[in-house]
Amino acid sequence: MMINSIRLQNFRNYVDEIIHFMPGTNILIGDNGQGKTNIIEGIYYLLTGKSYRVHREQELLRWEQSDFHIYGQFLMNRHKVSLESHYKDKKKMVKINQVACQRLSDFVGTINVIFFSPDDLVMIKGGPAERRRFLDLHIAQMRPGHVSILNAYNKALQQKNALLKSYNDKSFKYSQLQLWNQQIIELGKKIILNRADLTERLQGAVEPIFRNLSSEKETIKIMYYALGKSSVSEAISEFANLLNEKLDQEIERQMILIGPHRDDLQIFLNDKPGRLYASQGQQRSLVLSLKLAELELMRQEKGEYPLLLLDDVLSELDRFRRDYLIKFIESSKIQTLITMTSADNHLDLGTVYFVEKGHIRREA
């Protein structure tokens, strides 16, 4: 998969800019605040329907503007694909080859992308929500229906949560909560199975990568804990009982206490929790290995590598990890966009673009 060009209108600090990319590695160089990361964010937003930096589209608008538009030209299996994302009148619309999509799930996954930045270390150090997000985004790109399942599940949670906080008497809550629990079980099982399946496949892909990256000295293991259990089959078979057991407690505390929205992906280094025992360098190796494993899984499923976006990653990796990543990219012939503040010794990696005040200039 390749990106041929991107056009940003009123997106972040861009008025109307078109950038044409080349196969292989594309390096975006510029000082902080000039718009390098905004290009990466625009591409990521176009392909996934979400920003990795903010939660509201309003924050993506150029100053004093009310709408933004992103157009991308891509190549997938040697076929040209055009994608569009429009935000106007506080509404979002997406198109594939000029045809509007009724649902975001019809759009996400058309062109696959992997994004990696120093902030991804939060996947190791942060809470379960970051790791669930990692799993769900990958699944959504491979199985677009996962988006609809997640949305329906979250709506059921919102309704159940509103009921728990209502002033209705306990007997009424009991009967109504049972109805919402049925929806939560039905949708939650699908989410759990999707995440468990990805975790298993990721484990197979990440092991050899991490072994090479750690010079055969360390091991990585990932496990998905559903409903607090390491056995997915056990969690699914006991889902209904677990919800019933928590019912009185949920009513008393007015909050939902169990479900896949509270699950976790545990990442182990040498059979110990990476969150507690991994050094900064080891955390980078764990995350880097998982990102490269994602690339491999997408290649296996789609027959070609996805687009790779690296936001200021090379400066954060030591020489060994940096060289490993560069060698992986070059040997796999993955089209990659890299941002950096200075060229250092990386100018020979590929095509160079200079970014300044929302304008792009390709090196002659």
pLDDT of 196-229, one tens digit each? Answer: 999 999 999 999 999 999 889 999 999 999 999 9
Can you give the pLDDT at residue 135?
Answer: 96
- The model's confidence at residue 140, banded by pLDDT at 50, 70 and 90, is very high
243: burial class by Cβ within 10 Å (0-12, 13-18, 19+)? buried
Q: Quote the number of domains for the chain.
A: 2
Q: Is 33 annotated as a binding residue?
A: yes
Its pTM surpasses 0.85: yes
- Are 337 and 281 within one domain? no
Strand order in the sheet with 220-225: 220-225, 264-269, 272-273
- The model's confidence at residue 346, banded by pLDDT at 50, 70 and 90, is low
- Are 57 and 185 within one domain? no
Q: Is 35 annotated as a binding residue?
A: yes
Can you give the pLDDT at residue 349?
Answer: 79
Q: Is 34 annotated as a binding residue?
A: yes
CATH of the domain at 22: 3.40.50.300
User: What's the mean per-residue pLDDT of the chain?
Assistant: 92
Q: Is 271 annotated as a binding residue?
A: no
The string of pLDDT tens digits covering residues 261-274 is 999 999 999 999 99
- Are 125 and 242 within one domain? yes
Specify the 3-state DSSP secondary structure of 42. helix
Instruction: For residues 82-100, give the mean pLDDT.
Output: 94
Q: In the listed set 253, 283, 303, which residue is the last one of a domain according to the structure?
A: 303
- The model's confidence at residue 105, banded by pLDDT at 50, 70 and 90, is confident
Res 108 pLDDT > 70: yes
Q: In the listed set 254, 276, 303, which residue is the last one of a domain according to the structure?
A: 303
Q: What is the greatest pairwise CA distance in the chain?
A: 74
Instruction: For residues 89-109, give the mean pLDDT.
Output: 91
- Are 101 and 189 within one domain? no
Query: What domain range includes position 159?
Result: 119-303
Res 364 pLDDT > 80: no
- Are 153 and 274 within one domain? yes
CATH of the domain at 240: 1.20.1050.90
Res 70 pLDDT > 90: yes
304: which 2 tokens?
Answer: 């070609």
The string of pLDDT tens digits covering residues 313-340 is 888 888 888 889 999 999 999 999 999 8
Can you give the pLDDT at residue 202?
Answer: 97
335: which 2 tokens?
Answer: 């089209």
Res 99 pLDDT > 70: yes
Can you give the pLDDT at residue 317?
Answer: 85
Can you give the pLDDT at residue 345?
Answer: 60
- Are 96 and 15 within one domain? yes
- Are 132 and 215 within one domain? yes
Q: DSSP letter string over 252-280? A: HHTS---SGGG-EEEEEETTEEHHHH--H
Q: Please report, for residues 70, 130, 243, the alpha-carbon distance to residue 59 in angstroms, rounded to integers and kept in the order given.
A: 15, 21, 38
Q: Is 36 annotated as a binding residue?
A: yes
- Are 286 and 327 within one domain? no
- The model's confidence at residue 344, banded by pLDDT at 50, 70 and 90, is low
Q: In the listed set 276, 303, 330, which residue is the last one of a domain according to the structure?
A: 303
Can you give the pLDDT at residue 7?
Answer: 97
Res 253 pLDDT > 70: yes
